[in-house]
A and B are shown apart, each in its own frame.
Chain A
Amino acid sequence: MATAATPSSSDERSRVIALGIESTAHTFGVAVVSDKPPYILSDARGHYRPSKGGILPREVAQYFSQVAGSVVREALSKAGVSMDDVDLIAVALGPGMGPALRIGATVARALSSKYSKPLYSVNHGVAHIEIARFLTGLRDPLVIYVSGGTTTIASYLEGRYRVFGETLDIALGNLQDTFAREIGIAPPYIVGGRHVIDICAEGGRFIEELPYVVKGQDVSYSGLLTAAVRLVKKGWRRADVCYTLREIAYSSVVEVAERGLAHTGKKEVVLTGGVAASKLLNEKVEAMTKSHNARFKPIPPKYAGDNGVMIALTGILAFKSGVPPIPPEDAIIRQRWRLDRVDIPWYPMILGD
């Protein structure tokens, strides 16, 4: 079904070009991707960075609406293409923050209508998985997807990515950011390419006082956050608390992945999402994977976080496997769109086949 439905246009023309739009969280990303080498033709991004506190959806949306036009233009000009060369538009309609998602959806609807280009709805989580498969060449991996809003272990089974385990409360990235903010070492959250938690953890030692919670296939971080903030406020050595918080948070998600590997029998592992840029987390996943004789390949940190490339890439896969485009008026955002609700007819295929 998947391959039989490949549109004939891809045979007549030499290549398929997609414009991808990402706006689920703090990155407004637009990229142009082709189904033939060098695949990634451009990757333009605008990052919202709060000067103090955390991310306010309304402020993000305001920032997005200011930069949207120039990011789209940058993506097209760097790729050396015009809208006429674009075969399809792909947009992440969820999950994410409503006000932020609406900007991307609005831009996508407008471009699709104005230039009469087919519009593809992409699930942001699925896109993180697809870019990891594309960059690593690992076709059938267990997926560890960790970001500001997500902590999920997933793998493909019978037509969909199935969630094996996840966080019962807050996500891994959210844990790190909130803790850093609460103890007064952020924002900024990233300094010189490193998360402030990593800088804070230098010279730290493991302390016994923080809770490690793995329940079956799931992790829980809220108790860890509360306990860690309390220790810092009571005057414990900050480096020790940072080190231990990170050690527990990473180890528990890797342990759930280890259980997932044992139960699903997969032989490959990928790590994706914003927190996948962490060197230490990559080392831990690699050590776990090795001990089970499975393969792990890291993805470049640049593509760990949110970007338009992964949205365009997933749009191409949907297009090539015959998934129908959606009418622009149906491009409605889905803030809580779970990745296990999406059919993946293109699974046997990755870009470059």
Chain B
Amino acid sequence: MVSYDPRRLVGTLVEETSLLARGAESELRLGRFYGRKAVFKLRLPKPYMDPALDSKLRRVRTIREAKVIAAALEGGVPAPRLYMVLPSAGLIVMEYVEGPQLKEVLWRGSLDPGRAGYEAGVILGRLHSLGIVHGDPTTSNYIVSGRGLILIDYGLSEFSTSIEDRAVDVHLFKRAVESTHAGIVGELYGGFLDGYRESMGDPARGVLERVEEIELRGRYVEERRKSVWRM
């Protein structure tokens, strides 16, 4: 049986870190793990939930995210390397990926949009081939690092091979491109589609057909997401 109190362990591990960002779901802290720069992603207790429900959700979500990252890495998707997982504490320790967001690099114009899009498409296609959907594949979640583009933040990821879920991912990327990179939509999204088709193979066609359907269907859903996420 476990002979330590996980919260105390997390306490000593997390102590030396500094806050990078706080989202709705978790805190991201930057620290060191056995000498390496590391990100500590800590799902915080929610004060409004029954403690039993809260700890169950944190445990389940932490395990799911860690499994997704492990499966992605194993399948050759450039993702942050996993260092440690402590489900009962809601903690994942992973590699700190150094580099600017793809979004910023494109704004600066220091990367060819067609090439960048192509690489981003190859990565998402590979992830989908592994039976994983990302959930938030925007140009903010691709990091331009020393070892190429790296896709981060698997907090909303799921194991899924459904055409709908895959199409939503592609659609999310397209929408992010349209709202954040209006001047280079053609090159960036065009390159993305080439890369996605190449790494996905035949299944890509069904997914891309569904993307068009999503755009035509329920215009209000389209409108609402665009409007809120753009902020």
Contact = CB atoms under 8 A, between A and B. Distances in A.
Interface of A: 155, 157-158, 162-164, 206, 208, 212, 216-217, 247-248, 251, 254-255, 258-265, 283-285, 287-288, 290-291, 338, 340-341
A265 B53 contact: no
Contacts of B52: 206, 208
A172 to B, nearest CB: 15
B55 to A, nearest CB: 10
A252 to B, nearest CB: 10
Contacts of B56: 208
B156 interface: yes
A291 B231 CA distance: 22
A287 B48 contact: yes
Contacts of B190: none
B53 A158 contact: no
B228 interface: yes
A284 B48 contact: yes
Contacts of A216: 135, 156
Contact of A251 (B50, B220, B225, B227): B50
A157 B224 CA distance: 10
B54 to A, nearest CB: 8
Given A164-B228, A212-B53, A288 B48 contact: yes
A155 B228 contact: yes
Given A259-B24, A259-B25, A254 B48 contact: yes
Given A262-B24, A263-B229, 4 more contacts: A157-B227, A157-B231, A251-B49, A263-B228
Contact of B53 (A251, A285, A290): A251
A264 B156 contact: no
21 contacts: A155-B228, A157-B227, A158-B227, A212-B57, A216-B135, A216-B156, A217-B225, A247-B49, A251-B48, A251-B49, A251-B53, A254-B48, A259-B24, A259-B25, A264-B228, A284-B49, A285-B48, A288-B47, A340-B220, A340-B223, A341-B220
A208 B52 CA distance: 8
A283 B50 CA distance: 12
B121 to A, nearest CB: 22
Interface string B39-52: 00000001111101
A248 B50 CA distance: 9
B153 to A, nearest CB: 13
Interface of B: 23-25, 46-50, 52-53, 56-57, 135, 156, 220, 223-225, 227-229, 231
Contacts, number: 67
Which of A251, A259, A283 has the most C-beta atoms of chain B within 10 angstroms of its own C-beta?
A: A251
Contacts of B49: 247, 251, 284
B220 to A, nearest CB: 6
A262 B47 CA distance: 16
User: 5 tightest CB-CB pairs across the interface, nearest first?
Assistant: A262-B24, A284-B48, A206-B52, A287-B48, A259-B24
A interface SS class? helix
Nearest to B172: A216
Contacts of A290: 47
B228 to A, nearest CB: 5
B217 to A, nearest CB: 14
A291 B126 CA distance: 38
B63 to A, nearest CB: 15
Nearest to B226: A162
A162 B60 CA distance: 31
A163 B50 contact: no
Contacts of B50: 206, 247, 251
Contacts of A258: 24, 46
B224 A262 contact: no
Contacts of B47: 287-288, 290-291
A247 B224 contact: no
Nearest to A164: B228
Nearest to B156: A216
Nearest to A291: B47
B23 A338 contact: no
Nearest to B47: A287
A284 B224 CA distance: 26
A283 B49 CA distance: 11
A244 to B, nearest CB: 8
A208 to B, nearest CB: 7
A217 B223 CA distance: 14
A157 B228 CA distance: 8
Given A164-B228, A212-B57, A248-B53, A263 B48 contact: no
Given A212-B53, A212-B57, A340-B224, A262 B48 contact: no
A264 B227 CA distance: 10
